[in-house]
Structure 1
Amino acid sequence: MAETVFAPWDDPNEKPLIRFQNVTKRFGEFVAIDDLTLDIFEREFFALLGPSGCGKTTMMRMLAGFETVSEGSIELAGQDIAAVPPNKRAVNMMFQSYALFPHLSVYENIAFGLRRGNMPKHDLDARVTEMLKLTRLEKFARRKPHQISGGQRQRVALARSLAKAPKLLLLDEPLGALDAKLRQATQFELMDIQEKTGTTFVIVTHDQEEAMTVASRVAVMDEGRVMQVATPERIYEAPESVYVADFIGDVNIVAGQSTPMGEDRYHISWAEGQQPLVAASDRPFTDGQSCHLAVRPEKIAISAERPADVDNAVQGKVLDIAYLGNLSTYYVELPGGQIIKSQTANTRRISRRTFTWEDTVWVSWTATAGVLLAQ
């Protein structure tokens, strides 16, 4: 039997768990969130992604109840949460600093919220044991936070946040303090725990790789506005603006003017004395309209000879080479000064490079390799 794909956002009958409706948040004159409308569904792992100061943490603090909405409304499970105090919301927040109690053991840190909720001892013990097991901390139950590693402290904070079975868990840059390798392992742990508990997670991060790894959908933000909300694949392959294309991963962006060539095809005039580029687009562009062609480096081939039968081929010279072990990125300067990045996988061990600095090369790509963008 085919597995059903989790995509409640595509189902018009699904009711969202969280609904931002025309939410604006001002701090004095400064608009932190600008007329934001957004739905997040139950069991989603939703990422708010953007540069510092784009409003992602403000959104999270409004959900948690630490900030009030200036205009508009936020609903949680169909209820307007404006009047609900933070401690009465079915929402928990895990902070960047983890905020563990240094004098309490791992067990007591996890039990803290449950004790305050007067949970009977027998249930409390069962619940804490379940959380220790979920986060693989059974062996460390008696230790104090300073006796365990950063990654383990992170898991304690997660176990404590999930102990009260919130409907929604907010994670503010939760992996910021971990080193690269541990971050990667922890991302998969987070996904695993989120799936096992079925809790809705909303994570704030400025790390695009993290958002693309963990999230069911990503909201890319800029200056208090959501630029695009989509699955990681859609954000990468079908960005709706130059901002989103540029924010996620590496990309080449060529500016030019479009000329329709029939059947969703366009010629792009982009540089004096250069052949127009060919691009496919199901979005309509008019004659002479300014546009941007965004092409990912891995979709651009590099060769010594001009390739035959290819939609786009431009000659240039190798300006720089970035060797990343599994990949090499070639920076090729075109006659007009534009630099195109081409990325190739290093499948064989490098005995000698095919191309080196200053070599004249051809970069080529198909009409469907890029995305044509209006702004």
Structure 2
Amino acid sequence: MAANGASVFAPWDDPDQTPLIRFENVTKRFGDFTAIDNLSLDIYAREFFALLGPSGCGKTTMMRMLAGFETPTEGKIYIGGQDMGPIAPNQRPVNMMFQSYALFPHLSVYENIAFGLRRDGQPKDKIEARVEDMLRMVRLQKFAKRKPHQISGGQRQRVALARSLAKEPKLLLLDEPLGALDAKLREDTQFELMDIQEKTGTTFVIVTHDQEEAMTVASRIAVMDEGRIMQVATPDRIYEFPENAYVADFIGDVNLIEGTATPSGEDEVTITWAENQQPIRAKTQRKLATGQKVFYAIRPEKVGISKEEPTDVVNKAKGRILDIAYLGNLSTYHVQMPTGEIIKAQSANTRRIARRPFTWEEEVWVSWNGTGGSVLED
């Protein structure tokens, strides 16, 4: 959010910043089922924050508690320093945008956006000015008189967004807002969302199971599993420095190699992982015991592949190509070791492929440096 030497937007790193939203030891149970398990989390003003995880992990329950549709079994939720416990949903400084958009089919685009302002009894001239601002922001001035069924899915999504922002909430909750759009439109709309969020300065909290979407739009991501937060960090930290095997495996593509550790120097470890393969040498700040079970996570794009044995790398292994995934801009090679383990290596297709550099069943070497991966305890 900053350029030309301006300070980076990172209020979570500033001890003097007060969070806009605070979950304080929140637990939510439905009968015997614990949907949220003693969860604490801070979200700051102007953040685009993503709750990311598989179905049933608790992310939608967290959003519904923020909106006031569910009540915590234990713990408290604060918005702007105020305990939301006694505050009714319609009294909270929050608006919510649903995956279905929930537009009124009988009202025009203009009237859909104006609906909440009219219900609040705002003066006609203020309503008109605000709706015009919203139409301009989402670039739908030409469609103001049309009904929802007369515009595209992407345009309906922008109408729902404009209606949600018209009342200038402190916080906008987005529940899988792009799930109904096709892949290309979803990608375009992600950047529109980011642009609108930055222009309005509204805090956005998005619920999604789409890792790529969260990585694209969010200032920070909370990766969730079974009602607990596994890691909260910026997208680059989540990807490059996962805190555990679950996060490494959930975000993006990864080689997750199980082995046993032997500390071999300051911030160094060797990992025994397969019969007749040289141990993996890695950097880590974790304090590990000799013989301790660990996972080594290395992204496929950080693994090189070659026909000749490399001489200038710390880690290497020989295998044969089991499978090739051609993705246009990238090719991913699944290389099987003699003992059955598979290591994925990825290379960019910077030139048009007239003939593949490697083919199925071919013997190759995979290699990577000592700082390319992460040593994880579980």
TM above 0.5, yes or no, is yes
Counterpart in the other structure of 1:370: 373
Within the candidate set 154, 159, 173, 1:156 is matched to 159
Alpha-carbon distance, 1:132 to partner: 0.4
Alpha-carbon distance, 1:309 to partner: 2.3
Counterpart in the other structure of 1:222: 225
Alpha-carbon distance, 1:67 to partner: 0.3
Counterpart in the other structure of 1:296: 299
Residue 186 of structure 2 corresponds to residue 183 of structure 1: yes
Alpha-carbon distance, 1:282 to partner: 1.6
Residue 25 of structure 2 corresponds to residue 5 of structure 1: no
Within the candidate set 119, 138, 142, 2:141 is matched to 138
Partners of 1:309 and 1:134 in 2: CA distance: 54
After superposition, residues 226-241 of structure 1 pair within 5 angstroms as 226-241=229-244
The count of aligned residue pairs is: 375
Alpha-carbon distance, 1:336 to partner: 1.2
After superposition, residues 140-289 of structure 1 pair within 5 angstroms as 140-289=143-292
Alpha-carbon distance, 1:263 to partner: 1.9
Residue 81 of structure 2 corresponds to residue 42 of structure 1: no
Partners of 1:41 and 1:355 in 2: CA distance: 48
Partners of 2:241 and 2:278 in 1: CA distance: 25
Partners of 1:125 and 1:105 in 2: CA distance: 14
Partners of 1:354 and 1:100 in 2: CA distance: 53
Deviations 1:15-64 (A, max 9, x none): 00000000000001100000000000000000000000000000000000
After superposition, residues 325-340 of structure 1 pair within 5 angstroms as 325-340=328-343
Partners of 1:321 and 1:284 in 2: CA distance: 37
RMSD of the alignment, in Å? 0.6
Within the candidate set 92, 107, 112, 1:109 is matched to 112
TM-score by length of 2: 0.99
Within the candidate set 84, 88, 92, 1:85 is matched to 88
Alpha-carbon distance, 1:148 to partner: 0.2
Within the candidate set 4, 13, 28, 2:31 is matched to 28
Structure 1 stretches (4+) deviating beyond 4 angstroms? none
Deviations 1:92-116 (A, max 9, x none): 0001100000000000000000000
Counterpart in the other structure of 1:341: 344
User: Which amino acid in 2 is paired with 1:2?
Assistant: G
What 5-or-longer segments of structure 1 have no aligned partner? Answer: none
SS at match of 2:239: helix
Partners of 2:97 and 2:227 in 1: CA distance: 22
SS at match of 1:328: strand
Partners of 1:49 and 1:97 in 2: CA distance: 19
Residue 72 of structure 2 corresponds to residue 69 of structure 1: yes
* Identity within the alignment, %: 72
SS at match of 1:272: coil
SS at match of 1:322: strand
SS at match of 1:348: coil
Deviations 1:122-161 (A, max 9, x none): 0000000000001111000000000000000000000000
Partners of 1:272 and 1:338 in 2: CA distance: 10
TM-score by length of 1: 0.99
User: Which amino acid in 1 is paired with 2:72?
Assistant: V
Partners of 2:272 and 2:209 in 1: CA distance: 35
Within the candidate set 311, 316, 320, 2:319 is matched to 316
Residue 132 of structure 2 corresponds to residue 129 of structure 1: yes
Comparing 283-292 with 199-208, greater Cα deviation is found at: 283-292
Alpha-carbon distance, 1:277 to partner: 1.1
Alpha-carbon distance, 1:273 to partner: 2.2
User: Which amino acid in 1 is paired with 2:68?
Assistant: G
Counterpart in the other structure of 1:356: 359
SS at match of 1:25: strand
User: Which amino acid in 2 is paired with 1:255?
Assistant: E
SS at match of 1:352: coil
User: Which amino acid in 2 is paired with 1:200?
Assistant: T
Alpha-carbon distance, 1:348 to partner: 0.8
